[in-house]
A and B are shown apart, each in its own frame.
Chain A
Amino acid sequence: MNGKHRLILGAAALLAAAGCHGGPGSCPAGGVCDCHDGTDCYQGCADGDGCSLSCHNMVHCGGVCGNGCNLQCHDVTDCSADCGDACNIDCHNTVSCGAFCGTNCQYDCHDVERCGVRAGTNSVIYCNNVTTCAVECLGTCQVSINNTQAYDLGCPGGAAPISCTNGFIACGSC
């Protein structure tokens, strides 16, 4: 085997080895994917729905998912979540926590400076022990505000929120 053949063989072996290597980046449907340490991590649900994405102990992180997902984020500077319908979003001990979610969303934000969520119909929002909580409801929704310095609830069409007997404030009916 001459030098040229060895070179071609070596390059082919290197490419083959590289091509066989997988990575932790994309989360399969129904999968539980955790990302921690480092600076940035943004996870996506490769097959669309049903992922459980969590990230913690870093600077920026977030998850993008379809329907029926669980997104958790804590001990991060900036968290972000973008989810379809029937999602649970839990965000705590961060500076900011922004989220978009569809119908039947549960968004729980606590021990955070800025909580902000735009949520679909029949969503339930919790803001607890935060500096600012801003909620934009795209349909009926219920919001629980505790130990929060400032909050803003925007209802569809600029309608005024109503106070419920269970301590929630709501867009539409309680």
Chain B
Amino acid sequence: MDNMIYPRTHVRRRNLACRQFATLLATLAGGVLLASGSARAYEQVVIRDWRAPMTYELEVEPHLVLGTAPPGPGYGTGVGIGVRGSLVILPDGFIPRVNDSVAIGFGLDIGHYTASWALDGYRDQCTHFEPGPAGTSVCTDVTSGGGTYNYFFVPVVMQWNFWLTRHFSAFGEPGIDIYYLGSHGFNFSPAAYVGGRVKLTERMTLTGRIGYPTVAIGVSFMM
């Protein structure tokens, strides 16, 4: 009997988790909306509509990035530039009767990190080793002030959008960030972002996201 009940319970739990996540995002977005002063009495809520207020297949978003405590051996706080492309794969999203949509996002972010700007401390690192007697290895040069690090991030995320009003949308982005750090080569780290868009024109939004490993602010072009 339990085995017959389990699948339904599982689906119910999954739907509940989806709704809880959606509620969380909606609450967050609502908070940002109120705080930004963009909430106006006549703003039309569209979260219960079927379709997004702007139809697009690809979102291209150049942006500025800021990050701290980068993954891997680097340290510090960094600034940089990047671009994100998000291809809509589910225009109607996951949840019936909720105005959501899903896209796959790919990007490239370049960040220059300075260890002495670290919020979480840093250590100097060896930048040059030479072979010593008895098969030893001797470090002959170290970074100064923790050094600087140039990161290349390639985020790959699932972007889950919630079209809340005609002018405001929020999204969550779980995924991974593949990164390249000079002589340390390639590696990857988990990535998670939440963000929002404020509509500027019919095909353009001001877009911001916070998360790890970077935060970003940019302009999205809906194509």
Q: Which residues of A contact B (CB under 8 A)?
A: 2-3, 6-7, 11, 14, 17-19, 21-26, 35, 38, 40-44, 46, 62, 64, 78, 80-82, 96-100, 114-118, 132-136, 152, 154
Contact = CB atoms under 8 A, between A and B. Distances in A.
Contact of B125 (A40, A46, A78): A40
Contact of A41 (B118, B123, B129): B123
B126 A14 contact: no
A42 B139 contact: yes
Contacts of B141: 64
Given A3-B38, A62-B139, A114-B135, 13 more contacts: A22-B116, A25-B115, A25-B124, A41-B124, A42-B143, A44-B143, A44-B144, A64-B140, A78-B136, A98-B132, A116-B132, A117-B132, A154-B133
Contact of B134 (A7, A35, A41, A133): A133
B37 A18 contact: no
B68 interface: yes
A8 to B, nearest CB: 10
Interface of A: prevailing SS: strand
B36 interface: yes
Interface residues of B, number: 37
Contacts of B37: 2-3
B142 A18 contact: no
Interface in B43-83: 66, 68, 77
Interface of B: prevailing SS: mixed
A97 B136 contact: yes
A7 B138 contact: no
A41 B42 CA distance: 59
Contacts of A154: 133
A116 B134 contact: yes
Contacts of B187: none
B133 A118 contact: yes
A117 B126 CA distance: 19
Contacts of A81: 138
Interface in B74-115: 77, 115
A135 B137 CA distance: 14
A26 B124 contact: yes
A80 B145 contact: no
Given A7-B217, A18-B117, A23-B118, A96 B134 contact: yes
B221 interface: no
A111 B198 CA distance: 65
B155 interface: no
Contact of A98 (B115, B125, B136): B136
A38 B208 CA distance: 35
B218 interface: no
B217 A100 contact: no
A98 B133 contact: yes
B133 to A, nearest CB: 3
A132 B146 CA distance: 34
Contact of B68 (A18, A98, A99): A18
Given A25-B143, A40-B123, A42-B124, A82 B138 contact: yes
Nearest to B146: A25
B122 interface: yes
B191 to A, nearest CB: 20
Ordered nearest first, which 10 A-B pairs have the shortest CB separation?
A: A98-B136, A116-B134, A116-B133, A98-B132, A134-B134, A134-B133, A3-B36, A44-B142, A42-B126, A116-B136
